[in-house]
Amino acid sequence: MNDMPVSPVVAQKAPYPIEVEAGKTYFWCACGRSKKQPFCDGSHSGTGIQPLAYKAEAAKKLWFCGCKMTQSKPFCDGSHKNLP
């Protein structure tokens, strides 16, 4: 068994603008491995990283983090601007 924590990978160095639907729950990919960015497709299996559920309260455009380094999960906080 591997006890070393797995780090998220950068999916892209920019946020994903997504039009969310009121009342719908979205599962944000926290590991960066999903092929359905910015949302989970199960690729986190075995990483120890879990997706984050977000329930939209209103229909609007939101900016989901693409670099996975945000401190405002699941939303972009500009952390991608500090990546190499």
Express each pLDDT in 11-57 by its tens digit: 999 999 999 999 999 999 999 999 999 999 999 999 999 999 999 99
Question: pTM for the full model?
Answer: 0.92
What residues have CB less than 8 Å from 53, skipping those under 6 apart? 25, 26, 27, 28
CA distances from 2 to 7, 30, 48, 69 (A): 13, 20, 10, 23
Which residue type occupies 57?
E
What pLDDT was estimated at residue 4?
A: 61
Confidence at 6, pLDDT banded by 50, 70, 90: confident
CA atoms of 53 and 55, how far apart (whole Å): 7
What pLDDT was estimated at residue 81?
A: 97
